[in-house]
Structure 1
Amino acid sequence: MKAQHIKAKIEDYSRFIYVLLAVSTFLYIGVMIGQGEKSDMQLGIMEAIVILFAALAFYFSYQTKKLKKELMKEKE
């Protein structure tokens, strides 16, 4: 039962990682293309969100690694 719960969390975290990286990539492209069309405040907010989403993706990656180790211990 606990192993299934851990596997479900790993799958969810993996999806979060993919979505966060995809959105941050699109925002980063938006920052790079057409800088003259956006105000400095808009660019700053977009850059902050890109950094936040990338940091969250790395956090979920770290949590996934921890859960995989925990799952291996459960199997033993």
Structure 2
Amino acid sequence: MNTDHLKARMEDYARFIITLLILSVYFYLGTIITTYLTESNYETIMMGLTALSMGGAFFFTLRWKKCSQALQDQESQ
């Protein structure tokens, strides 16, 4: 892969990470609101969505790191 392609992928992964972290915060706040302010049975679903979006952010962080190392390897050669 060329460096421009790797840089573009890293930018995309960074956007995915930020978006998923923001989504996780919204899901977590939704969990708090449904748990403490109103009676609802959606706490388990909301916590699952929070964990799922955090897991996605972690996955894309690993992919970003892999691209970063590949870019450094290409630039050092």
Q: Same fold (TM over 0.5)?
A: yes
Normalised by the length of structure 1, the TM-score is 0.89
The 2-side partners of 1:38 and 1:25 are apart by: 21
SS at match of 2:23: helix
Report the CA distance between 1:39 and its aligned residue: 2.7
Normalised by the length of structure 2, the TM-score is 0.88
- Structure 1: unaligned runs, 5 residues or longer: none
RMSD over equivalenced CA pairs, Å = 1.5
SS at match of 1:33: helix
The 1-side partners of 2:63 and 2:18 are apart by: 14
The 2-side partners of 1:46 and 1:34 are apart by: 9
- Structure 2: unaligned runs, 5 residues or longer: none
Deviations 1:22-55 (A, max 9, x none): 0110110111124253532x22111111000001
Change (3 A) 1:24 1:38: farther
Q: What percent of counterpart residues are identical?
A: 35
The 2-side partners of 1:74 and 1:18 are apart by: 26
Runs of 4+ residues deviating >6 angstroms: none
Number of matched pairs: 75
Change (3 A) 1:38 1:13: farther
- Where in structure 2 are the equivalents of 1:28-39 lying within 5 Å? 28-35=28-35, 37-39=38-40
